Chains A and B, each alone.
Chain A
């Protein structure tokens, strides 16, 4: 069964803590993306990667970091520098950078 798996489904962050959200895909897609969704707002792009070992900042990259060491995996770290991390985080992938994007089920991050 091909797809995009995000874990965990729910995550809580303490003050000053870094947390990492997992995104794995077995679709053999080259491109992967991280979006943030807040109530009443459209999806906003955090980071994207067109190919392994390369990634680019999106529109709201401050306070986040990523890595792309494997084609299948694109983890997102929410650092303590991100002062308003509470949101629904969505990972997506596409065959190439100009193709249809398919989404994972999301991780809901809250602050304790």
Chain B
């Protein structure tokens, strides 16, 4: 089956670094996405990994290990506006929803002054 796990909530301090983990189990992995969602708003695309390694984009980086079924999103120099939910989503090439995304429940990050 398909399963995606990420922590429900995390708290961090402004200016610090935080790492949000995501583990997954799929039968036909074909890419992992991270989205940011502020309360009551649309998810916005942050990053995409399909090969192992680190993808860096400004203050945000995302890492993927396909052999371990593991990814993390790294946020540096945290700002208050980074308080949001972070959604991990995996694309599975098998099954009835071929090519469609399977979303985790999201990690709610609170940034404190």
Residues of A within 8 A of B (CB): 33, 35, 40-45, 48, 58-59, 88, 90, 97-98, 100-106, 108
Partner of A42 from the list B48, B99, B104 (CB cut-off 8 Å) is B104
Q: Are B43 and A98 in contact (CB under 8 A)?
A: no
Range of interface residues on B (Cβ < 8 Å) = 20 to 34
The residues of A that contact B40 with a CB separation of less than 8 Å are: 88, 106, 108
Q: Are A98 and B99 in contact (CB under 8 A)?
A: yes
Q: Are A102 and B87 in contact (CB under 8 A)?
A: no
Secondary structure dominating the interface of A: loop
User: How many whole Å from A27's CB to the nearest CB in chain B?
Assistant: 13
Q: Does B67 have its Cβ within 8 Å of any Cβ on chain A?
A: no
Q: Are A42 and B42 in contact (CB under 8 A)?
A: no
Q: Given that A97-B99, A100-B48, A101-B101 are contacting pairs, would A106 and B87 also be in contact in the complex, using a CB cutoff of 8 Å?
A: no
User: How many whole Å from A47's CB to the nearest CB in chain B?
Assistant: 11
Q: Using a Cβ cutoff of 8 Å, how many contacts connect chains A and B?
A: 51
Residues of B within 8 A of A (CB): 4, 30, 33, 35, 40-45, 48, 87, 89, 91, 97, 99-106
- Please give me the residue from chain A that is nearest to B45 by CB atom: A100
- Please give me the residue from chain A that is nearest to B88 by CB atom: A42
- Please give me the residue from chain A that is nearest to B30 by CB atom: A98
The residues of B that contact A33 with a CB separation of less than 8 Å are: 100
The residues of A that contact B87 with a CB separation of less than 8 Å are: 42-43
Q: Given that A42-B87, A42-B106 are contacting pairs, would A58 and B45 also be in contact in the complex, using a CB cutoff of 8 Å?
A: no
The residues of A that contact B99 with a CB separation of less than 8 Å are: 97-98
- Please give me the residue from chain B that is nearest to A102 by CB atom: B45
Q: Are A40 and B105 in contact (CB under 8 A)?
A: yes
Given contact pairs A42-B87, A42-B104, enumerate 18 new A-B contacts (beta carbons under 8 Å): A33-B100, A35-B103, A41-B105, A42-B106, A43-B89, A43-B101, A44-B103, A45-B101, A59-B97, A90-B42, A98-B99, A100-B45, A101-B101, A102-B45, A103-B42, A103-B43, A105-B42, A108-B40
A33, A58, A59, A101: residue with the most chain B Cβ atoms closer than 10 Å: A101
